[in-house]
Amino acid sequence: MDFSFLQEYWSFFLKGAQWTIVLSIFTVFFGVILGVVLALMRLSKVKVVKFLASAYIEFIRGTPLLVQIYLIYYALPYADIKLPDYVAAILTLSLNSGAYIAEIFRAGIQNLDKGQMEAARSLGMPHWMAMRHIVLPQAFRNILPALGNELVVVIKESSIVSVIGIMEITYQADTVRGIVFRPFEPLIVAAIMYFVLTFTLSKLLSRWEGRLHRT
């Protein structure tokens, strides 16, 4: 195998890594917000609200991410909604990730001792305040390992947005493959870069989790 092409095209992979990180950060940010909202909706006593959240989560989890990207990128223009490429990519990844994060948060909340909420309510806290200051912080600490796994998945799944021209790692690897006429080496470089990103994130999350448990 010959990786001499990296001397000339290393900047392609660097740019791809930068966009992969940007996509992942925005996806996680919006995905967590959506996930918390959906989790609270699923735990709601209002049947309509609970049904809407459940239907959304089941639909997203039951359809391929690639189809979801095509629906948002190609179908929305028919409704006179034209999104920039990167906005469409972040929106799709966030909507997808939010459904999985919602189930993680829901499980974390339900696994907490119910006495936590009852104690907060007995002190005069409204339900939303008890959820915000008592329940959600504890649930977040409990679900950190599962949430970390979801973040790793987001980094890997971001590769699929290359199909709509997003210049992340996979897209750049395919570009270099077409330039240097080498089918495997650029993909090996891309695989190594994904591994470095996910491995580093996993280690950072493990340290953070350890610090949280010591406090």
pLDDT for residue 3 is more than 80: yes
- The amino acid occupying position 98 is G
DSSP of 99-131:
HHHHHHHHHHHHTS-HHHHHHHHHTT--HHHHI
Going from the C-alpha of 150 to that of each of 39, 156, 173, 201, the distances in angstroms are 16, 10, 24, 11
How far CA 33 is from CA of 39, 40, 92, 189, 203, in Å, comes to 10, 11, 14, 33, 24
Q: In this predicted model, what pLDDT tens digit does every residue of 74-108 receive, in sequence order?
A: 888 888 888 889 999 999 999 999 999 999 888 88
Tokens 């994060």, residue? 101
The CATH code belonging to domain 6-214 is 1.10.3720.10
Stretch among 14-18, 112-116, 137-141, 142-146 having the lowest mean pLDDT: 112-116
CA 137 remoteness from chain centre: 20
- Judged by phi (left if over 0) then psi (alpha if -120 to 50, else beta), residue 147 lies in alpha
Instruction: Give the pLDDT confidence of 111-139 residue by residue, as tens digits.
Output: 776 666 666 666 666 666 777 667 777 77
Strands (DSSP E) along 33-185, which ranges?
Answer: none
Q: Name the residue ranges covered by the structural domains of the chain.
A: 6-214
Give 178's Cβ-side CA count (13 Å radius).
Answer: 6
